[in-house]
């Protein structure tokens, strides 16, 4: 049964579900947690209508394990959570990274640490989304700032996950997850990408046989191809190895398949940056306030511009570095104590001044707050 697709007033979490279904997601495992609970509720109602399966697990690490298991059978799978649950998923996110299992993890951020402010917005999981699991591992993180973009980026998250055999994190925040906007899904058609399947003879199949910057075809469990999946460092056959050359090759390949395909992965938006002297760099819901502030600053004769990273990790450092050479000051407003600013400072490398606007009180940073800083600098 097809899901109805029409223009309507839609919540961000609802748009995430619609995007997941459109991308071909047919399995969801999770545990309810505000402010992402609507995703689980809507998935539970929607998946059976399209031949999918929903399961509420006993905890977050089990949810992540179930998602990995479903994906190994060839089913597109996802889970959704918020900060505390995201922390609990990390071990199995690392497992999915090493074993190259496509999956999507939605994190609708809330204030923390610990259980924090359960229904208040925050952006404090920026660094956790990159480095939350141990070891050198690749990750892709995308972050929407509107309801319609949540729909598109959810599909893109599945596409990137399938193409690069990698976990992809959709890093939302409570404002985006809970606000409602008019969305016309008919105008948001996005191509769908599925994982590449092996075409070789079954006896010739090697589950991790790929060039240094490549992705190996992935056979479904139960399709007759022999696969071995382990969290240990493994050879191209999938079996554990401690040979230095095989260890080095695997870890570098996992990173190279992302770092050497940035043209296809990185997404960002620029507004009034051609002649900007002051740059505001913001993501998620805060980028909406930043856009308004930049627009007002321009009306007052101040040459301000906005850079909005849509792909948070890998960080679009080449684009930011070029802007750092042109502007004299970069302002980074974010609902944390400066997690993304640290990355901007690294990339700017003293080419210009970098300062932050930081809020940790569970409230969205207002446009006036950003505008005042623009006028001050």
Domain that holds residue 355: 268-376
Residue 233 domain flag: no
Reported as type and span, the H/E element at residue 240 is: none
* Assigned domain for 160 exists: yes
Between the alpha carbon of residue 312 and those of residues 90, 274, 344, the distances in Å are: 18, 22, 11
CATH number assigned to the domain comprising residue 148: 3.40.50.970
41, two tokens: 């509720």
Across the range 127-135, mean pLDDT stands at: 96
Last residue of some domain: 151, 167, 187? 187
Which of 155, 187, 219 corresponds to the end of one domain? 187
What proportion of the chain, given as a percentage, has pLDDT over 90?
A: 95
How confident is residue 228, by pLDDT bands cut at 50, 70 and 90?
very high
- Residue 5 confidence (pLDDT): 55
Same domain, 52 and 174: yes
Spatial distance between the Cα atoms of 84 and 235, rounded to a whole number of angstroms = 34
Are residues 183 and 63 part of one domain?
yes
pLDDT > 70? residue 1: no
Backbone angles phi, psi at 370, to 5 degrees: -70, -40
Same domain, 272 and 154: no
Query: CA angle, 149 as apex, 102 and 91 as ends, to 5°?
Result: 30
pLDDT tens, position by position, 333-375: 999 999 999 999 999 999 999 999 999 999 999 999 999 999 9
Is the separation of the CB atoms in 15 and 157 below 8 Å? Answer: no
Contacting residues for 175 by C-beta, under 8 A, at least 6 apart: 121, 284, 285, 364
Q: Is the dihedral of CA 290, 306, 282, 34 positive or negative?
A: positive
Residue 188: pLDDT over 90 = no
> Into how many domains does the chain fold?
2
Mark out the alpha helices in the chain (DSSP H runs): 12-23, 37-46, 60-72, 83-99, 126-131, 147-164, 174-178, 244-259, 262-265, 286-299, 317-326, 339-348, 367-376
Enumerate the β-bridge partners of residue 78. Answer: 28, 104
pLDDT digits (tens, 9 = 90+) for 280-333: 999 999 999 999 999 999 999 999 999 999 999 999 999 999 999 999 999 999
Q: Residue 189 — pLDDT band, cuts 50, 70, 90?
A: confident
Provide mean pLDDT across the span 37-41.
Answer: 98
Burial class (CB in 10 A: 0-12, 13-18, 19+), 68: buried
pLDDT at site 75:
98
Contact between residue 299 and residue 264 where contact means Cβ atoms under 8 Å apart: no
**What is the DSSP annotation of 258-299?**
HHTTHHHH--EEEES-TT-SEEEE--TTHHHHHHHHHHHHHH
What pLDDT was estimated at residue 58? 94
Residues in the chain: 377
Would residue 199 count as lying in a domain? no
End-of-domain residue from the set 187, 203, 231: 187
- CATH number of the domain at 364, please: 3.40.50.920
- Residue 360 in any domain: the answer is yes
Asked if the peptide bond before residue 314 counts as cis, ω within 30 degrees of 0, the response is yes
| pLDDT tens digits along 61-95 | 999 999 999 999 999 999 999 999 999 999 999 99
CA torsion sign for 170, 176, 178, 183 is: negative
Instruction: Give the model's confidence band at 56: pLDDT under 50 very low, under 70 low, under 90 confident, else very high.
Output: very high
Residue 156 DSSP code? H
By C-alpha distance, which of 125, 68, 137, 48 is closest to 284?
Answer: 125
Q: Which residue has the higher pLDDT, 29 or 3?
A: 29
Q: Is the pLDDT of residue 6 over 80?
A: no
pTM of the model: 0.95
pLDDT at 4 over 70: no
Contact present, 228 and 238 (Cβ < 8 Å): yes
In a domain, 258, yes or no: no
Q: Which of 342, 300, 360, 309 is nearest to 131 (CA)?
A: 342
CA distance 281 to 259: 22
Nearest by Cα to 374 from 324, 333, 316? 333
The token duo for 187 is 């105008």
Mean pLDDT computed over every residue of the chain = 96
Sorting pLDDT into bands at 50, 70 and 90, what band is 218?
very high
Q: What number of other Cβ atoms are within 10 A of residue 355's Cβ?
A: 17
Report how far residue 230's alpha carbon sits from residue 326's, in angstroms, rounded to the nearest whole number. Answer: 48
My answer on whether 52 and 171 are in the same domain is yes
The token pair that represents 231 in the structure block: 């969290």
- Cβ 314 vs Cβ 258: under 8 Å: yes
- When pLDDT is averaged across residues 217-227 and rounded to a whole number, the result is 95
Over residues 202-212, the pLDDT tens digits come to 999 999 999 99
Tokens linked to 89: 């998923």
Tell me whether residue 198 is in a domain: no
């Amino acid at each position: 049964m097809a899901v109805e697709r029409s223009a309507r007033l839609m919540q961000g979490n609802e748009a995430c579900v619609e995007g997941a279904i459109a991308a071909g997601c047919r399995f969801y495992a999770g545990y309810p947690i505000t402010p992402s609970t609507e995703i689980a509720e809507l998935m539970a109602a929607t998946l059976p209508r399209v031949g999918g399966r929903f399961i509420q697990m006993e905890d977050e690490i089990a949810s992540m394990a179930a998602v990995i298991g479903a994906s190994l059978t060839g089913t597109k799978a996802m889970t959704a959570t918020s900060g505390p649950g995201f922390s609990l998923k990390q071990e199995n996110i690392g497992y999915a990274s090493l074993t190259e299992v496509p999956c999507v993890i939605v994190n609708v951020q809330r204030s923390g640490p610990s259980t924090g402010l359960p229904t208040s917005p925050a952006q404090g999981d920026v660094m956790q989304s990159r480095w939350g699991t141990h070891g050198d591992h690749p990750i892709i993180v995308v972050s929407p700032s509107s309801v319609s973009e949540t729909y598109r980026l959810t599909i893109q998250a599945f596409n990137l996950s399938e193409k690069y055999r990698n976990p992809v994190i959709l890093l939302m925040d409570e404002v985006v997850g809970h606000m409602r906007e008019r969305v016309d899904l008919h105008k948001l058609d996005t191509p769908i990408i599925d994982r590449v399947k092996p075409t070789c003879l079954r006896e010739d199949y090697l589950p991790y046989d790929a060039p240094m910057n490549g992705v190996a075809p992935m056979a479904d469990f139960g399709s007759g191809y022999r696969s071995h999946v382990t969290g240990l460092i493994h050879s191209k056959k999938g079996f554990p190895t401690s040979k230095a050359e095989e260890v080095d090759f695997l870890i570098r390949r996992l990173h190279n398949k992302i770092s050497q395909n940035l043209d296809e992965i990185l997404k960002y938006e620029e507004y009034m940056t051609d002649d900007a002297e002051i740059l505001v760099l913001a993501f998620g819901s805060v980028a909406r306030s930043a856009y308004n502030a930049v627009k007002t600053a321009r009306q007052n004769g101040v040459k301000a511009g906005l850079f909005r990273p849509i792909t948070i990790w890998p960080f679009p450092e080449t684009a930011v570095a070029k802007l750092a050479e042109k502007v004299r000051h970069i302002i980074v407003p974010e609902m944390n104590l400066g997690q993304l600013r640290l990355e901007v400072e690294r990339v700017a490398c003293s080419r210009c001044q970098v300062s932050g606007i930081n809020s940790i009180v569970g409230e969205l940073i207002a446009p006036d707050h950003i505008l005042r800083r623009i006028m001050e600098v």
